[in-house]
Chains A and B, each alone.
Chain A
């Protein structure tokens, strides 16, 4: 398992449209992708999980990747967040 802290960079945060984009991307990986927040694990392969983090610009999310392709998954998430999902 690997852990990474990733910053929400886009202006609007993790809203509903972005949740869709994230989940579609996450489902490509076999590994589990969770965000730990105040003792709760949010599953990033679920739209409700993404939205439940109420992630806003500047928030740091602690990701846990676990599975055979965990490295690739972690890189993909980092890249996706850095791209601001195509937003500003």
Chain B
């Protein structure tokens, strides 16, 4: 079964459904109304207490979205409209409490689900069903708390409600497979932060018979295998062992210099989303942050954008933890696959080609200026640079620079210190920017090539479409020629060029980046040491000949073969 990768890795363990229990409730006449009402009162009190405990255990700041949902559920338990429906059914119709709870909640759920003009409320219907499940579990004396198995397991579910995820311990959790969910869902964010592989939108996983069976989650290729055969299991064991051995080998490269055999330098930076990642980055020997994605700073807020002060606190914390290492902060790249509810960006037919990132920010100058101010201030005593996403034309740069000017004047008036000469660079991820890179290079201080988006825009191929993987391959010779062209125009203009997309950490490609004179690659934290290992084992003069040969090729397969041979032969040119 195929799925979309929400958090990378591989795992092999027994499946464990963490789906909320579903109940077969029967409509049963009752005789003792008083007793039935008492049962309901007790269940209500017990649920309110459970929710209270869950809320207490959560962190006010980082879990505020989950807390709001749990509080809504608590208020449902005090909601006279909802409660009266239940007690009326018990008193007037003399029906059992379970049936009354289910009927009342189903009614509200279907009301929400039928709000075709309100996606937000419609999606929240699951929170109402989740509460009804909690009530029914208490009434039927079935534990709602998910008892974690005492062996390693892969959690499978339709989606995991925030309240369930909060209840789940994750000591033995090895992977997550969701029938629904999205790469920006709560669950995916948690999985990434725990370093657990997670696949979403795996159609059919719930219907498949997985009870007590082994599951192989491959969140590198985006596949799940139920009951893998011996070959697959031994392949996984080899993978696991290799990872372990590689880790030992690569760990030695954490504190080495990123220099080729013949002394050329290419920095290894990392991509991060929060200040918590700076420590692991430094441990792995990251030389800077090539891409600080600021979306999470916005996503963690539930009903309004973070203020300038809140953002400044976060950016300053990252900058000071990095000491004087470079920190490239990308301005808000909302839209596409990154949705932020309170910004209220309309759902679009083609979100990747839509109203997002710099386009949205330039239309919302107050929001944009707060972020610009926070970034400029964080640069006061640190090596901070600003990077603009999704740039297609000079006009967007000019307008942003105008806003930067305005912010500088305002900061001067407020007497706040900031970096008045901050370097401003742009993402190279659209064909328009790539084609015009020679002109754009006159207006900016650096380019950062976002290979994921560049490939999908260059080939007009959705990168989440499993049928288009070949077009989105980082071995596409056209993509490589485009990157080479961008690197050359940057150098002709005397500005730096980095790669911050996933192609930066593909080891076969590292010799090409060196040959193209890429100044630094920004990779995921776990990839820092292996990329540095690859750099240290490459000879730049040699890789230039490889590059010339590769750029003459026509197909993905030809590129793949030539690069793999080069790598296997330890960097000896083909």
Residues of A within 8 A of B (CB): 11-13, 15-20, 23-24, 43, 45-49, 51-52, 54, 56, 85-88
Contacts and interface: CB of A to CB of B under 8 A. Distances in A.
Residue from A17, A56, A85 with most neighbouring chain B CB atoms (10 Å): A17
B121 A15 contact: yes
B23 interface: no
Contact of B72 (A12, A17, A87): A17
Contacts, number: 72
Given A15-B120, A45-B80, A51 B342 contact: no
B194 interface: no
Interface in B102-132: 108, 111-112, 115, 117-118, 120-121, 124, 127
A23 B379 CA distance: 43
Contacts of A24: 75
Contacts of A49: 79, 81
A11 B344 contact: yes
Interface of B: 68-69, 71-72, 75-76, 79-82, 108, 111-112, 115, 117-118, 120-121, 124, 127, 302-305, 341-344
Given A23-B75, A48-B108, A52-B111, A16 B121 contact: yes
B65 to A, nearest CB: 8
Contacts of B304: 86-88
A48 B68 contact: no
Contacts of B75: 19-20, 23-24, 46-47
A48 B121 CA distance: 11
Contact of A46 (B82, B117, B127, B303): B82
B51 to A, nearest CB: 12
Closest 6 CB pairs of A and B: A11-B344, A17-B68, A46-B79, A87-B303, A47-B75, A46-B81
Contacts of B81: 43, 46, 48-49
A45 B396 CA distance: 48
B298 to A, nearest CB: 12
A87 B305 CA distance: 8
Contacts of B305: 88
A12 B80 contact: no
Residue from B68, B82, B111 with most neighbouring chain A CB atoms (10 Å): B68
A17 B69 CA distance: 7
Contacts of B72: 16-17, 19-20, 47
7 contacts: A13-B120, A16-B121, A17-B69, A46-B80, A47-B79, A48-B76, A88-B342
Residue from A11, A49, A51 with most neighbouring chain B CB atoms (10 Å): A51
B82 A48 contact: yes
Contact of B303 (A17, A47, A56): A17
Nearest to B366: A88
A23 to B, nearest CB: 5
Contacts of A87: 303-304, 342
